[in-house]
Structure 1
Amino acid sequence: MTQVIQLESVAKRYDSSGTPALGPLTLSVAKGEALAVTGPSGSGKSTLLNLVAGLDKATEGTVSVAGRRLDGLSEHVLARFRREQIGMVFQFFNLLDDLTVSDNIQLPAQLAGTARRKTAERADELMEALGIRKHARAYPGRLSGGERQRVAVARALVNRPALLLADEPTGALDSASGQDVRELLVDLHRGGQTIVLVTHDPALAQACASRTIHLVDGHLALDSQAEAVR
């Protein structure tokens, strides 16, 4: 089975003489798997996500994503790799308010050098699939929280990434919008998208993930496989 993420004896220290914020940790995530990362505040969840995203570098060990070791890549090459292979969804959406929905979605593809026509076609395809086509020319500030998160997911998927990272994707939403995003993540997983989801919400992890790990003080305390994603 193809591994999209491979961590080998990874540790991250922010203070060279202190206790690691994460690890040592060895972890793999297979293609098509939906992994939920849970744990209390300060347990290392965000550190793990940042290492996998290439936003931070491990102090020890190696991090590989989609067959590439991240530690050997220059900042320029890493930025390009991240645009092409990793989609990211954040708690507070991180959309650009002065761009329309369609332009927000197209931006990563434009930065990757994709032809304008192909970029527009891909954005249209995603907006249709995610039920936001009618908002193509609207600005994010006019949308509900759930709609903005769907735009953020579309933007994350525009380059057909090998991996989707979601950091508390329902944390800023009301219950109805949160349910919409939960169903969207389930649909993406059923469609074969590899997902790593960081969440404080056990219900979200249970609904969306085929596997859950629980971190405590930077260490793996639990690694459980779900029976099925409903």
Structure 2
Amino acid sequence: MTTPVIELRDVSRRYDAGPPALQDASMTVQAGEAVAILGPSGSGKSTMLNLIAGLDRPDTGTVTVDGVRVDQLGEAGSARYRRSKIGMVFQFFNLLDDLTVADNVVLPAQLSGMGRREANRRAADLLESLGIARHGGAFPGRLSGGQRQRVAVARALMNRPPLLLADEPTGALDSASGEDVSELLRGLNAEGQTIVIVTHDLSLAQSCTKRTVQLVDGRITADMNTRVAR
């Protein structure tokens, strides 16, 4: 049996004196899967995302991603882990407006020590494959929302991470741009990229993934296969 890309075992996280944000959560994600973490605001989605991304630590339980015990990493180790193991796509893109599209995409490679020439080649290939090569010299503020999200996806894939995390990736887009990004995510998964999408949008989950994990009040209440709506 293959080792999962993500393995959460009995993970709990509580903030202050309130109820647990996540309680006794166990989940595995295999290589090549596309999984949606679905739930309303306050359900624990963001907490689970932050634990997988190494941005937070559980109070109890273990978090393992691509063989790395993420819950045991210090600050420097967590930064190295995020550079090498995961790519992240956010609702509001998180691009640097004073850098060109190409320089935004190249940035993760520079931080990881990749040579400039190799990084430029990799960025050019990504921009071409995602249909935005002609915008390489433009600044993000000149692009549409859908185009900016494509730039964000290119940046997330720059270091060839085994895992792509997408946090409400269509939440700031109009319906046409949202469908464009959904199609992009479906295509990436069809090519073998492991993807976890965190969302409250059932239609996005059904469109992009074959499996949905439902969170309610910090607990996993369902883990089910869903049919891709295409």
Q: TM-score, normalised by structure 2?
A: 0.97
Task: Note if contact 1:7-1:63 (Cα within 8 Å) is conserved in structure 2.
Answer: yes
Letter in 2 for 1:26: S
Equivalent positions of 1:1-230 (< 5 A) are 1-15=2-16, 17-228=17-228, 230=230
Instruction: Supply the distance in 1 between the matched residues of 2:225 and 2:152 (Cα, whole angstroms).
Output: 28
Question: Relative to structure 2, which stretch is displaced further, 73-82 or 147-156?
Answer: 73-82
DSSP 3-state at the match of 1:3: coil
Task: Note if contact 1:209-1:229 (Cα within 8 Å) is conserved in structure 2.
Answer: no
Task: Note if contact 1:165-1:197 (Cα within 8 Å) is conserved in structure 2.
Answer: yes
How large is the Cα RMSD of the aligned pairs? 1.0
Deviation at 1:228, TM superposition (A): 4.8
Letter in 2 for 1:8: R
Q: Deviations over 1:101-132 (max 9, x none)?
A: 00000000100000111100110010000000
Task: Note if contact 2:51-2:71 (Cα within 8 Å) is conserved in structure 1.
Answer: no
Instruction: Supply the distance in 2 between the matched residues of 1:193 and 1:229 (Cα, whole angstroms).
Output: 19
How many residues are matched?
229
The percentage of counterpart residues that share the same residue type is: 63
DSSP 3-state at the match of 1:18: coil
Q: Deviations over 1:80-116 (max 9, x none)?
A: 1111111000000000000000000000010000011
Instruction: Supply the distance in 1 between the matched residues of 2:40 and 2:6 (Cα, whole angstroms).
Output: 23
**CA 1:34–1:151 in 2, change beyond 3 Å: closer, same or farther?**
same
Question: Relative to structure 2, which stretch is displaced further, 47-56 or 18-27?
Answer: 18-27
Q: TM-score, normalised by structure 1?
A: 0.97
Deviation at 1:23, TM superposition (A): 1.4
Instruction: Supply the distance in 2 between the matched residues of 1:74 and 1:205 (Cα, whole angstroms).
Output: 33
Structure 1 runs (4+) greater than 6 angstroms displaced: none
Letter in 1 for 2:41: S
Task: Note if contact 1:22-1:217 (Cα within 8 Å) is conserved in structure 2.
Answer: yes
Instruction: Supply the distance in 2 between the matched residues of 1:195 and 1:80 (Cα, whole angstroms).
Output: 20
Q: Deviations over 1:133-186 (max 9, x none)?
A: 000000000000000000000000000001000000000001110010000000
Task: Note if contact 2:208-2:228 (Cα within 8 Å) is conserved in structure 1.
Answer: no
DSSP 3-state at the match of 2:98: coil
Q: Deviations over 1:19-53 (max 9, x none)?
A: 21001111111111101011111000000000000
DSSP 3-state at the match of 2:222: strand
Structure 2: gaps of 5 or more residues: none
Instruction: Supply the distance in 1 between the matched residues of 2:223 and 2:57 (Cα, whole angstroms).
Output: 24
Letter in 1 for 2:134: K
